[in-house]
Every structure is written in C-alpha cells, then in structure tokens.
Structure 1
Amino acid sequence: MSYEKRVLPELLGILKQAPKLDLNDDIEKIRSFKPPALDTSPEVKITTRSIQGPESELRIKIYEPVNRETPKLPAVYWIHGGGYILGTPDGDDGLCEFFVNEVHCVVVSIDYRLAPEHPYPAAIEDCYAGLKWTADQVEELQIDSSRIAIAGASAGGGLTAALSLMARDRGGPQIAFQMPLYPMLDDRNETPSSYEINEQNLPTAWNRENNLLAWKMYLGAAAADAVSPYAAPGRAEDLSGLPPTYTFIGQLDPFRDETIDYVARLAQAGVPVEFHLYPGCFHGFDAIFNEQDISKQARSGCVNALKNALKQTNKE
C-alpha cells in the first residue's frame, strides 16, 4: 500500500501542497518561509519583552486575555518547534491565542537560540532561563505559581520533555503539567517508524532524512560524546517524579515509536499520562491554519487536557 493511501483523505491536499523541505539548502532561506497569515484575536493582548538569558538577551512573547475574570490565571509556557534549527514564537501566534481564549490562561513563549549557530545546550538552557523568569514574575504576570504548565510541539515537544527533566533535577521551578506534542526525543533514530517514514514515502512531511540532519546540527560537537538526556530526553533512564503528561502523535510520524516508548516508560514510572495515536496523520497535521476535522479534534484534546490539569482547586 502506498503511503498516500494511508494518509487521511482530508489531509492529502495539505500534504501535496506542502513544499519539500531540504535542510541541505540555505538555512536562512528556509527560515524566511512564512506560514499562512491568521487573523489576530481582539480578545488577546500580546506583549514582547526581553529577558536575560544564560549568554544573551532573549525575546519572549506574553499572551493574555484582554478582559481577565480572575486576579491570577494559570500559565502555559510554550516552546515552538522547528527541528531545533527553525522557527520563532511568531509562527505560533495563532495557537497561543487559541490557548488563551479556550483555556483562559496566560501564555509565555520563548524565542530560544537555534542550531547550527547555537548547538546544544543553548536551546534547553534558554528554555530553562525563560521558565525560571516566568516563575519569578508570577506577581507581575498575575499568574498562579501552582498552575504553570509547559508545552511544545515537535522540537518544542522534545524541549518540553527535556525541560521537565531539568526542572526536576535542579529543584524547580515547579511544573504542574507537561504537554510534549509529537516530541523530537531521540537522536539515535533506531525505531521502526524512524526508518518507515522517509523521503521516498513522505517527501513533503518531516521524515528520516530531515531528522538525521537536524539532530546533527543540534548536537554539534556533543554528538561525539555520550548524549545527555537534556539533549535527547528519549535517553533518560529515570522518568520518575515528572509532572502529569498529555501527548499525541500521528501514526505516519517518524517520532511515533519513540513517543510510544516515552509514554510507556512514563506510565511505568508512575507518572499520570494520557496519549492519543491518530491513524492516517503525518507530522504537524494539527497546525492551527489547518481547519480539517481531525486537526480540530487534536487541538480540542490539548485544550481539554490543559483545562483539566490547570483548573482551580478548592483550596485556592
């Protein structure tokens, strides 16, 4: 059976129209690609700030309701995707506004440094600095320190999982919930799905060839040494003590099997975890500009998970 026949019919047009991503090409040229523009929400206020990172100033974007109903809101610390080498918070404006409106929360999105110019550990250290800043500014941001979730998709999902490990091991900040969506977890690329989803089968989706190149650029010199679980969380041996977790992935995603392994090991470590596998779906099928029913279903699942995880408790 051809892979096009395995893709859900409602997603096939999107797959065929997508440009083929060649990471051997000029990275700056690829970074200049802009996703479809979305109308901004009049219900959401967006503020851009600069904070001090580990080596330089970092840009963050804060999304919050224009009309707050309660003094302190839960927060979602969002990490954009892009294979550790592409992307900015601006590309996720629509999704962050969606979370604000649907979950009624504050979203903080970090503009971390990208490889290959800034290989590991730049991205994860930037993400940790942004999380710590968020936790330290709860009064200014008017957020509830006991209800901070971290989330991201693809490489942002990998950074979410790594950030959970780092916050646990460094003794904070406290994370109430993590949502690493179709996460980029394992640099070894040894699973069946990492071979199955390749350039020949799905040339316009994220595939094995793209993944190998992205990991090489992200790890840089670290690839020659024992790779840290803060770089590749799939290598972490101890997943105990991590926050409750929600994730999903498409069955035609090269990260399918490493995500399933991660979910199973979270459950074995006693971490509450909810997981959804979507047949006929490729990497990134839930993009906010994709209005297909299956994409809306996936986004709705995220919203419900965040609402349940961040709802106010009786003691508050």
Structure 2
Amino acid sequence: MAFPLWLADGIARLAQKAPGSLRVSSETNFAEIPAVTEDMRIPTRHGDLHATVYSPPNGSAERGVYLNFHGGGFVMRHPEQDDPLCRYIAAHADVTVVNIDYTPAPQSRFPGPVEQAYDAALWAASSDRPWDGSRLVVGGQSAGGALAAGASRLALEANGPSISLQVLMYPALDLTIPARQKKTAGKESFLVPMGPIFDTAYCPDVARRSDRLASPAAPADTASLEGIAPALIVTAHKDILREEAIRYAERLEHAGALTGHLDLPDYGHGFNILGAPRDIVAEIYDRIVECTQAALAQT
C-alpha cells in the first residue's frame, strides 16, 4: 500500500521544524577548532540557496573548495549539524568548505535537489570565486551523499565541471527498495518507519525512483561510469543503507573510480552525529582530509 502523499508531506514539514543542532554529540562537535565563516547565496535553476562558507586558516586564495550537502532523508533542513565536519575539513585539509542548505522535499522534489547540487558545483567551479574552483570536491552524508553522487553523475554527462573527488558517507543510493526490505538481522530499525515518508515526499512517482540520479545503485542503471569523479565511500555495518553503498562502490571500482571504501563494523547510520566516540569520528574525518588533499594535489 502506497504511503499517502499528503501525510508524507505533512510529516516532512513537521520534521523540518524540529531542532537539529541539539543532536550533535558534544564529544564530536570539535568546538575547539576555530572557524571563520560567512554567509553566501548560491544561484541555481530552482532559486537561490543559502550557504555557510568556512575559510581555511591561510585564506581561500589558490586553495581548493569542498561542497558539503547535509543529510536528513531529503526532507530535513539542518545544515548546522554538519558544522563539526565542515570546520574539521577546512582546518585540516586547508580548503574552503561550503555547507549548502539545499531545498528539501516537499518544497522541492526529485530531481530538484540533485539539480541544485549540480548547479552549486558549477557555481563553485567558476573563476569568479575567491578560491580555486578548478580544485573541487563534493561530499555529503545520507541524502546529501546521494546529492553529491548525483552532481558527480551530471558533471560526467555534461563534461564538467571537473570534480576531483566525491565523498559519500552512508549514502542513500537505491530508492527502488523499500526501507522495510533493507532491514535485516543486525541492522538498525530507526530508518525503517521513516523510509516511506522520505521516499514519498522526495519522489512520489514510484517509477522515477529507478532514475540514475535517484538510485545509481539500482539494477536499472547500467551505464558506464568511466570518467566519473573518484569516490571515497564510508559505510557502517548496522546501517540499512550499507548494501546499496557497497553495490555502488563495486560499480565505481569497476570504472576505476573508487579511491577508498571505509566500513565501520560496530556503528550505524549517522554515527558521526549520533554518538560515536570521538576517536572513531576523527579517524574517518582524517581519512576524508587525506583523500581530499591527495585528490586536489593531482589537479
């Protein structure tokens, strides 16, 4: 039985009003890392987006840029939850980080957020920016990981902009499989009741959920990924989205575009926000920093 669209939209709007920053663990907020930030507006075909820009310690000139897309099932609007990650990457990778507040569903349904992500990448790559737009990384968590993957796919198909690396943390990459079917032994259950709400609000047309920009890990997408931006993928054993991310990692590896796959055995979805120990989170962030620096050094 299909989840009613009116109900999914109503729950999504309520979820957008819930507090977000309170969910970030004090152990992993990295508040000791200084952050120089400013607000910017990013033009896209679906309207202007607000973004918070984190400048690296030595300034933005001649340095690369990292676009971050937050999670939240394509419906929640809490980019501030990614503040710890953004300040960490800006400080340690010495890049400008742009934390983007894309328009979620139901205000913008598929493919709107993916197109906004791609338009943001085009904007960031422009020579008019205060950073070196030719040295570009895109990344995101959960739904944000899906948007980073979609932006990278559109960049491949449009032959630009050049993306040096895509960082996909516990990404949602197959909307063709209902969340309840992804729940197996040892997996968390908290995403299961939310899955139908997220999927319905974001992509009400079930047939469109097999689109390559919505479900690049689904069987329907068989196009070659040769030439796509190399990827670092992070998965967690208890996450119901783990298997689809692994399938996509295998596709990327076959295309020669897998930089690395980090798989956490004892944690689940959103581990860096929902209470994993500081040393675990820092280890993952350090790996993202290393891959970012290595990718940008080759540009």
- Show the 5 A alignment for 1:221-300: 222-225=205-208, 227-235=210-218, 236-238=221-223, 239-287=225-273, 290-300=276-286
> C-alpha distance in 2, partners of 1:232/1:213?
17
* 1:175 aligned to which of 141, 150, 163: 163
Runs of 5+ consecutive residues of structure 1 not aligned to the other structure = 1-22
Q: Which has the larger radius of gyration?
A: 1
Identical-residue share of aligned pairs (%): 25
TM-score (norm 1): 0.80
How big is each residue's C-alpha offset from its partner over 1:257-303, in whole Å with a ceiling of 9 and x where there is no partner? Answer: 11111111111122233112111211011229754332222222222
Partner Cα distance (1:226, 1:155) in 2: 14
1: CA distance between counterparts of 2:108 and 2:146? 17
**Contact between 2:20 and 2:78, CA under 8 Å: does it hold in 1?**
no
Aligned pairs for 1:11-90 within 5 A: 26-31=11-16, 32-36=18-22, 38=29, 43-68=34-59, 71-90=61-80
Q: 1:286–1:299: 8 Å Cα contact kept in structure 2?
A: no
Question: Match for 1:133 among 123, 139, 145?
Answer: 123
- Give, as a single letter, the amino acid of the residue that structure 1 aligns with 2:19: F
SS in 1 for 2:203: helix
Greater alpha carbon shift after TM alignment, 124-133 vs 297-306: 297-306
Q: Distance in 1 between matches of 2:164 and 2:185?
A: 34
- Tell me the distance in 1 between the aligned counterparts of 2:58 and 2:64: 15
- For residues 206 and 129 of structure 2, what CA distance do their matches in structure 1 show? 40
Give the 3 Å change call, closer, same or farther, for CA 263–107 of structure 1 in structure 2: same
Q: CA deviation at 1:67?
A: 3.4
Deviation at 1:127, TM superposition (A): 0.9
Partner of 1:105: 95
Range that drifts further, 82-91 or 253-262: 82-91
Bigger fraction of residues in strand:
1
Q: Partners of 1:171 and 1:281 in 2: how far apart?
A: 37
Partners in 2 of 1:81 and 1:88 — Cα distance? 8
The residue identity in structure 2 corresponding to 1:160 is A
Once the two structures are TM-superposed, the CA of residue 226 in structure 1 deviates from its matched residue by: 6.6
Q: In 2 relative to 1, CA 75–197 (structure 1 residues): closer, same or farther, beyond 3 Å?
A: farther
CA distance in 2, matches of 1:268, 1:57: 37
Distance 1:142-1:189 versus aligned 2 partners, 3 A rule:
same
Q: How many residues align?
A: 284
- Cα RMSD for the two superposed structures: 2.8
C-alpha contact (below 8 Å) 2:56/2:95 kept by paired residues: yes
* Contact 1:263-1:273 within 8 A present in 2 as well: no
